[in-house]
């Protein structure tokens, strides 16, 4: 058992390593393509050579970033087959569909027109060149759409049914998956927050030029576009973040409890704005959850259920159950999961023996439209994944990591709004080059943008542990049965390769920035 846990942790670590490196490049691509398209549009309208220089300069930085994003993204997809083959077998037909659409439609479109965008100067008409730039922006965001639809399904699996004959999940409604409220909100929140990071990147580079008294026109215009784009994106991120909290409360209450360090459920729950967790706190002791906290009364209930007096379940409710709130205990869910697994074994045995009567009776227990007594609610499979857990404590994610990541993300998000406003005001007044303190803050702001962006993914993925598919498959059931040493070796190799590529990429990008437009 210890070896299995070690294998799962190293496999998760390897996937996290690849994903976090990949996500360094993706936000810049998503937002920078749109800002480049805006700059290119200005050039198309004005025929001003300065706008052309500006557009070409940011295109160069985009392509440097784009190449590394593609390389890490390909490796990320392969890891589903190498490290998570049981998961891929169990839901490959479902999870693979949006990824296939992303590759065939969106990425093909993006890769095709990025060549026209980069090399089309004076080779194609100005209108076609401008259209290709906008198509690159659309294509990159469509790529994100299909990938995030796949991820959203892992957070909230719908539009599928379990087939006991194959012991696999099968898609029954593609549009339920593609148009899931969780998927739509995840796409909007992830892309708008990525636009914020890209805006900070443009402001950071432009600030360096202003501090060096170089390329003043291009730096100021770039900062103006980035400040407006970043501010609008930040406001949209707040609204989509509100929807994210609501979706998490409905579909992943344990994640919400971890985000707020909420052990005891309560009505009229307040939202913690600043807090220091007590590391000694556990569900088995009476320690206070916080050393210190400041909270806004009623706000967590309001955000979670659109009702200031609503009951928000805590970790203890979700582990031990709460009859008054009709919350099953984790122990009960695990028991039902064990029965579901045992029933599947009986079904498989009946299939081998060609016992048609037994197959018919057992099959009904996996039919989501059949009630088999009150004990199973709608179906056996609802708690199938819980049967792979050995203890209710496994359902508790890393609370400290989830809590601090969430609050870092939110706090930085509000600070970015202030930064965008200040940059816009001083660029508009044409005094930004005299504000050295603001320029130095802007220069380093992109690092905090990456911290906020990475923190968001930590909340999303760490907060839903132990599930690789929420409530259906825990990570212990989805991992490939490899030797731990093999995963450790590849983890180290990937860490070395990715770090080397990142250093090379930064070196090339810094060199290009030093050269300037």
377 Ramachandran zone, left/alpha/beta (phi>0; psi -120 to 50) = left
320, 324, 321: which is closest to 311 by C-alpha?
A: 324
Q: How far is CA 222 from CA 174, 226, 428, 477, in A?
A: 41, 6, 12, 49
194, 202, 151, 145: which is closest to 413 by C-alpha?
A: 194
| Bridge partners (DSSP) listed for residue 473 | 469
Q: How far is CA 78 from CA 106, 127, 338, in A?
A: 19, 38, 32
Q: Which residue has the higher pLDDT, 372 or 109?
A: 109
Check residue 379 and give its pLDDT.
57
**Strand, coil or helix: what is 385?**
helix
Among 275, 291, 312, identify where a domain stops: 312
Query: Are 230 and 274 part of one and the same domain?
Result: no
- The per-residue pLDDT of the chain, averaged, comes to 89
The single residue listed with the structure tokens 């796409």 is 187
With cut-offs at 50, 70 and 90, classify the pLDDT of residue 13.
very high
With cut-offs at 50, 70 and 90, classify the pLDDT of residue 377.
very low
Note whether 153 and 183 are within 8 A (CB).
Answer: yes
Q: Dump the DSSP string for 271-326.
A: EEEEEEE-TT--TTS---SEEEEEEETTHHHHHHHS-TT-EE--HHHHHH-BTTTT
Is 197 within the bounds of a domain?
Answer: yes
pLDDT, average across residues 279-308:
90
Check residue 368 and give its pLDDT.
62
Q: Which residue has the higher pLDDT, 108 or 486?
A: 486
Query: Are 296 and 214 part of one and the same domain?
Result: no
Q: What tokens appear for 509 in the block? A: 């990008």
Gap between the Cα atoms of 517 and 513, Å rounded: 8
Query: Are 221 and 164 part of one and the same domain?
Result: yes
DSSP state of 158: -
Is 305 within the bounds of a domain?
Answer: yes
Q: Which residue has the higher pLDDT, 346 or 297?
A: 297
Check residue 376 and give its pLDDT.
42
Query: Are 251 and 304 part of one and the same domain?
Result: no
Query: Are 15 and 95 part of one and the same domain?
Result: yes
Is 287 within the bounds of a domain?
Answer: yes
Question: What pLDDT, in 10s, does the model give residues 136-169?
Answer: 999 999 989 999 999 999 999 988 888 877 888 8
Q: How far is CA 190 from CA 183, 230, 353, in A?
A: 10, 14, 50
Note whether 289 and 316 are within 8 A (CB).
Answer: no
Phi, psi (deg, nearest 5) at residue 268: 50, 45
332 contacts: CB under 8 Å, gap ≥ 6: 321
Query: Are 61 and 195 part of one and the same domain?
Result: yes
Question: What pLDDT, in 10s, does the model give residues 109-122?
Answer: 877 888 888 888 88
- Percent of the chain clearing pLDDT 90 (strictly above): 62
Query: Are 425 and 301 part of one and the same domain?
Result: no
Query: Are 245 and 175 part of one and the same domain?
Result: yes
Number of folded domains that form the chain: 2
Q: Residue 177's domain spans which residues? A: 2-255+393-515
Phi, psi (deg, nearest 5) at residue 472: -110, -40
Is 317 within the bounds of a domain?
Answer: no
Query: Are 178 and 307 part of one and the same domain?
Result: no
Question: What pLDDT, in 10s, does the model give residues 163-173?
Answer: 877 888 888 88
Is 483 within the bounds of a domain?
Answer: yes
Query: Are 308 and 218 part of one and the same domain?
Result: no
Q: Quick count: other Cβ atoms within 10 Å of Cβ 123?
A: 9
Res. 372: pLDDT tops 70: no
Is 363 within the bounds of a domain?
Answer: no
Query: Are 453 and 496 part of one and the same domain?
Result: yes
Is 346 within the bounds of a domain?
Answer: no
pLDDT, average across residues 36-60:
94
382 contacts: CB under 8 Å, gap ≥ 6: 336, 376, 471
pLDDT, average across residues 282-298:
90
Question: What pLDDT, in 10s, does the model give residues 433-471?
Answer: 889 999 999 999 999 999 999 999 999 999 999 999 998
**Count of positions (residues) in the chain:** 517
Check residue 306 and give its pLDDT.
92
Query: Are 421 and 468 part of one and the same domain?
Result: yes
Q: What is the pTM of this model?
A: 0.93
Note whether 219 and 230 are within 8 A (CB).
Answer: no
Give the gyration radius of the chain's Cα atoms. Answer: 25
Is 379 within the bounds of a domain?
Answer: no
List the Cα angle 301/305/309 in 5-degree steps.
Answer: 45
Gap between the Cα atoms of 298 and 276, Å rounded: 20
Weakest-pLDDT range from 232-241, 366-375, 503-512: 366-375
Say if strands 160-163 and 168-171 run parallel, antiparallel, or are unpaired: antiparallel
Note whether 265 and 316 are within 8 A (CB).
Answer: yes
192 contacts: CB under 8 Å, gap ≥ 6: 233, 234, 236, 237, 240
The single residue listed with the structure tokens 């393509």 is 33
Note whether 66 and 114 are within 8 A (CB).
Answer: yes
């Amino acid at each position: 058992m210890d070896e299995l846990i070690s294998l799962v942790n190293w496999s998760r670590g390897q996937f996290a390593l690849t994903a976090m490196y990949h996500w360094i490049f993706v936000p810049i691509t998503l937002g920078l393509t749109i800002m480049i398209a805006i700059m290119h549009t200005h050039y198309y309208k004005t025929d001003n050579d300065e706008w052309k220089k500006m557009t070409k300069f940011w295109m160069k930085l985009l392509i440097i970033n784009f190449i590394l994003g593609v390389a890490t993204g390909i490796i990320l997809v392969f890891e589903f087959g190498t490290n998570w083959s049981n998961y891929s077998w169990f839901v490959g037909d479902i999870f693979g569909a949006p990824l296939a659409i992303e590759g065939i439609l969106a990425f093909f479109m993006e890769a095709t027109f990025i060549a026209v965008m980069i090399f089309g100067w004076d080779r194609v008409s100005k209108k076609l060149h401008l259209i290709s730039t906008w198509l690159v922006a659309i294509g990159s965001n469509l790529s994100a759409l299909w990938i995030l639809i796949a991820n959203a399904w892992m957070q909230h699996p719908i539009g599928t049914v379990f087939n006991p004959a194959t012991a696999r999940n099968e898609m029954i409604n593609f549009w339920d998956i593609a148009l899931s409220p969780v998927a739509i909100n995840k796409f909007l929140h992830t892309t708008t927050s990525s636009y914020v990071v890209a805006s900070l990147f443009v402001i950071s580079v432009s600030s360096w030029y202003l501090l060096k008294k170089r390329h003043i026109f291009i730096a100021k215009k770039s900062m103006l576009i980035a400040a407006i784009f970043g501010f609008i994106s930040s406001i949209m991120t707040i609204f989509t973040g509100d929807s994210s909290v609501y979706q998490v409360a409905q579909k992943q209450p344990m994640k919400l409890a971890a985000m707020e360090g909420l052990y005891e459920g309560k009505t009229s729950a307040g939202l913690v704005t600043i807090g220091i967790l007590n590391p000694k706190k556990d569900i088995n002791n009476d320690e206070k959850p916080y050393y210190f906290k400041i909270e806004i009364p009623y706000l967590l209930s309001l955000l979670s259920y659109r009702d200031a007096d609503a009951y928000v379940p805590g970790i203890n409710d979700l582990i031990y159950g709460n009859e008054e709130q009709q919350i099953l205990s984790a122990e009960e869910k695990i028991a039902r999961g064990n029965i579901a697994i045992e029933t599947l074994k009986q079904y498989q045995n009946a299939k081998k023996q060609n016992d048609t009567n037994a197959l018919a009776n057992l099959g009904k227990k996996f039919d989501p439209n059949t009630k088999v007594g009150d004990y199973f609610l709608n179906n056996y499979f609802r708690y199938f994944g819980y049967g792979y857990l050995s203890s209710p404590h496994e359902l508790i994610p890393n609370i400290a990591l989830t809590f601090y990541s969430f609050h870092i993300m939110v706090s930085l998000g509000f600070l970015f709004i202030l930064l965008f406003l200040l940059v816009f005001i001083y660029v508009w007044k044409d005094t930004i080059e005299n504000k050295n303190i603001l320029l130095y803050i802007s220069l380093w702001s992109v690092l905090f943008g990456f911290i906020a962006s990475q923190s968001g993914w930590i909340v999303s993925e760490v907060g839903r542990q132990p599930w690789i598919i929420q409530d259906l498959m825990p990570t212990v059931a989805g991992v490939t049965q490899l030797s731990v040493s093999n995963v450790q070796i590849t983890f180290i190799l990937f860490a070395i390769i990715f770090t080397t590529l990142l250093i090379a990429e930064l070196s090339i990008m810094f060199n290009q920035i030093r050269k300037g437009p």
